[in-house]
Structure 1
Amino acid sequence: MIALGIEGSANKIGVGIVRDDGEILSNPRHTFITPPGQGFLPRETALHHQEWAVRLVQQALEEAGITPSQISCIAFTKGPGMGGPLVSCAVVARMLSQLWQVPIVGVNHCVGHIEMGRVVTGAQDPVVLYVSGGNTQVIAYADQRYRIFGETIDIAVGNCLDRFARLLGLPNDPAPGYNIEQLAKQGSKLIELPYVVKGMDVSFSGLLSHIEGTAKGLMAKGEATAADLCFSLQETIFAMLVEITERAMAHVGSSDVMIVGGVGCNLRLQEMMQIMVSERGARLYATDDRYCIDNGAMIAWPGLLALGQGQAMDLADTTCTQRFRTDEVLVTWRQ
């Protein structure tokens, strides 16, 4: 069986084609990039996705070397995400489902990241650190659900990095978080910032407000460079994430950690996590930007898994929800 998945919950739209043995046949995507200092708004992002959806479907079929008659199901991102972009991609998925007369499956974006990570890395039952522009969660599987052991209580880690990048005027191409990572490599002075861990949860809004309020003053006085500030921001927030991940590992007795989501591409975060897991005699599973960053294959694969459990949807149920929590999904394909 072969599934075509459409992902468009934020500023990236991707179309992936995956076979039921986990082989990724194609996975093109396109990113909506705004000028430096600006974020992306739902309406403009939705228009971008509408412009690119059909051509990405055509590109995915060509790269996979298959025809629509070989597609067994259509999978789309049901949520969480931005309303306009989600609906734009869901409309395309409904159209293809009816046009090609194949079942349609709605996929939780967060579960998509987890299952993509598992099939690519081979991780069996890891504690998952899910870090992206819209989500920050520490997750472990139990009793047919991905349970959230800790999460952000305000903004996501990726949102924190993106907003600081806008303050510094860093470009959004290829991604503001990536440009912070590159600039941080030139920093050497660690500026003390608020370290906010509340049990198993983390908070980034106060930390962001603090560094936004002091950044220009520190740079004007010559007490810190933009690189120093990026370095300090990364070191602080990544230390917070490593701490709650280690606590979850101890709680569930796991010896494996997997990092997923767009921020999971950050090599410094992977390095800090590797130090922690090595000290515990554990293993770290991480991927590169092909699979960490939002893509269509991460929707196609869990769509196939759900279809195998009889979870195809009626068209009337193929709605989107901006707030679709990871632990709401019944994960019937795992034992």
Structure 2
Amino acid sequence: MKFIDLRSDTVTHPTEEMRKAMSEAEVGDDVYDEDPTIKKLEFLAADILGKEAALFVPSGTFGNQLALFTHCNKGDEVILGDDCHIVQHEAGASAVIAGVQLRTINSDHGILNPKEIESKIRKFEDIHYPKTGLIALENAHSNGRVIPLKNFKEIREIADNYNIPIHLDGARIFNAATALNVDPKKIAKYADSISFCLSKGLCAPIGSILVGNSEFIEKAKKKRKIMGGGLRQAGVLAAAGIISLEKMRFRLQEDHENAKYLADQLSRFDFIDIIENVEINMVFFKINKEFNKKDFILFLRKNGIKINPPDENIYRFVTHYWIKKEDIDKTIKFIEKFFNQ
């Protein structure tokens, strides 16, 4: 059975063009810095985001944790939002890998208050204090919201005043750039390092990229090796990533429009509330009705639709390259059928 998979944009399969490029990729040992396809991907990624250099890594979590590991010393403190991906969905890796302390602040749907960030900065040396080593931001946020650039500009000014670097978890930076209708460089310029995923809405099967200045990336290469991320003939993966950057990032508006269509169709049910503005390819909603959640998920799966269980009664449906309008119509039809049976 071909499933309609709404669980995440991580479920995307590579396109036929990607598979062909992977099979024909010119490769070499990347740990020896000899893989030409990896080099092409890294140069392309750095250029698109206006940075000096880039590094291919296995995953988004790997990219974020490598950034923390590279920017910070053991015992440093990282200021970030309490609902960001690094805090919520990376299994405590910051403590294990970088050995840093996370100092969280309240997040307003992903927007951080610059004054609150400034209030948390360790402003002088004290035997009792850790050093503020990094500020971490996220755009697009994992709650599906896009952060206004004005907010980033204000945070950048504070970071510069205290000489603190900024890392951006830009897993979906191209979704954010699409929603804001800006060149991705305009988002990236506020951060010293950015990680982004090739394997979500961009359809590559594996991989993320970490970008920054040349000195930072050179330092990160050794840290990547320590983390076990020194890959060999990785050009077979980079070939798909090149197509992601040259082609797939330019079609994300279609996913956003499908998400808005999905939200509109869901909101037709008087027992469903859309709880976040639909700004990228994610729809968050609550079902205000008594029903068996396991039966609901199994019913949809039996009819060729995969969804995740709710998180604190909130469902998330995600559109992507392999979700078309007719798939949304089929999903709505079976949701209606379940609640009318």
TM-score when normalising by structure 1: 0.30
Work out which of the two has the higher radius of gyration on C-alpha atoms and give 1 or 2: 2
TM-score when normalising by structure 2: 0.29
